[in-house]
Chains A and B, each alone.
Chain A
Amino acid sequence: MGTDIIDRLVGIEPGSPLDAIRGRRPTAREQAQASYTALFAPEAAGGVSATERFAVASFVTSLNGEAETAMFYAAGLAESGASAGLRQAVDTAIVAATGQGPYGSFPTGPLSREDTPGPAHRLAPDTRATLGPRLAAAFEHVHLLVFHPRDAAPAALQPLLDAGWSTTDIVTLSQIAAFLSFQSRVVAGLRVLTGAL
């Protein structure tokens, strides 16, 4: 198996039926991988450290319920040099944040009957202290993206700015959470399809 992350996480062997199917959309395959590289091994890290990227990834993929993918990013977090204490805090945050989505409210009007209210996540004080202000703000924000993105509002960005995330950092953080929502689902979907071929 090559280094393509989706192939690796699904278990797609060269020459297998699913390898051939992915080969029919070669640019999608190559650019899904390029997205991973851009977000987790960028040419320039910019304002977001590797540990921050992998900590958020570990949190998001666990909440998505994609165990293999989550293990991959947890390993990446360890390789990024994250301390045992930080890794423990990420695991604690995952357990406390597990839930079901999508929920949230629509703009007031005819869609209000579809509103499914649910919580904005707040980390436990000791988890927050170990994660530090930047990662704590990031975790609370990406919880919104994972479970109830339709509750997003401009004010939800203020805690990130207050914790030192720049506009450009927030774009990268949002791309990480959003890309992993894609990657986890491609992996989960193709794994089911492989089992059915």
Chain B
Amino acid sequence: MTDTILEPPPHAAPIVFTRALLDWLPWLEPLAVEALTERHMEALVDAGRAKSAYFRLLARDPGALKARTLADKDIFYNQDAGLPRAERELAAAATSRFNGCIYCASVHSRFAATYSKREADVQRLLDDGVGADLGERWNAIVAAAVALSATPISFGPPHVERLRRAGLDDLAISDVIHAAAFFNWANRLMLSLGEPAET
């Protein structure tokens, strides 16, 4: 049988970047919860992700999903020094804003706001885009994420210099690179396999 595209149920689509909680509706059939094997569950890493249509769709390639998820967690949650979590989330949110992933931006702008307690600055990034003035340290992180996200990649020595001047050490700069790079991965999956919906 030929596979088919799913028709998402009627829903309100967000038309602006927002920190509100959004849903994500798949365009291709996720695995059914009852079809998940031990290998799929291992690829989901957290059993709770079996509730997510996005992760059950990605579970169709369990090897790729498992490695993606474990890399994601270390890039963002590893607390051994480097860039504070708030600013890893800022890099993720800026990348998502630049690429145009409203769903990804919603999740990671919420995290950035929660960890930094700078809700107004995060909201300005969402409202005004990656050119918003968020203070030099955040501007340097956003500019680095944007240059890295451009195609072709335009990240260069001036971006590293600016991050250094803003107070980031080499591990923190590596964290900016990984957080922005990872969201170039995540944005492309979320944007091309389904769509956001207001909850």
Contact = CB atoms under 8 A, between A and B. Distances in A.
Interface of B is mostly: helix
B99 A102 contact: yes
A120 interface: no
B152 A100 contact: yes
Given A149-B192, A179-B68, A102 B151 contact: yes
B100 interface: yes
A155 to B, nearest CB: 8
Contacts of A186: 177-178, 181
A178 B192 CA distance: 10
B27 interface: yes
Contacts, number: 217
Interface residues of B, number: 72
B16 A111 contact: yes
Interface string A28-51: 101110110111001100100000
A38 B63 contact: yes
Contacts of B177: 185-186, 189-190, 193
B28 A185 contact: no
A174 interface: yes
Nearest to B8: A154
A40 to B, nearest CB: 10
A157 to B, nearest CB: 5
A88 interface: no
Given A178-B185, A179-B64, 11 more contacts: A21-B174, A27-B71, A27-B74, A38-B66, A46-B61, A110-B15, A149-B192, A150-B191, A179-B68, A190-B177, A196-B164
Interface of B: 2-8, 13-17, 27-29, 57-58, 60-61, 63-68, 70-71, 73-75, 78, 80-82, 98-102, 129, 148-153, 155-157, 159-161, 164, 170-171, 173-175, 177-178, 180-182, 184-189, 191-193
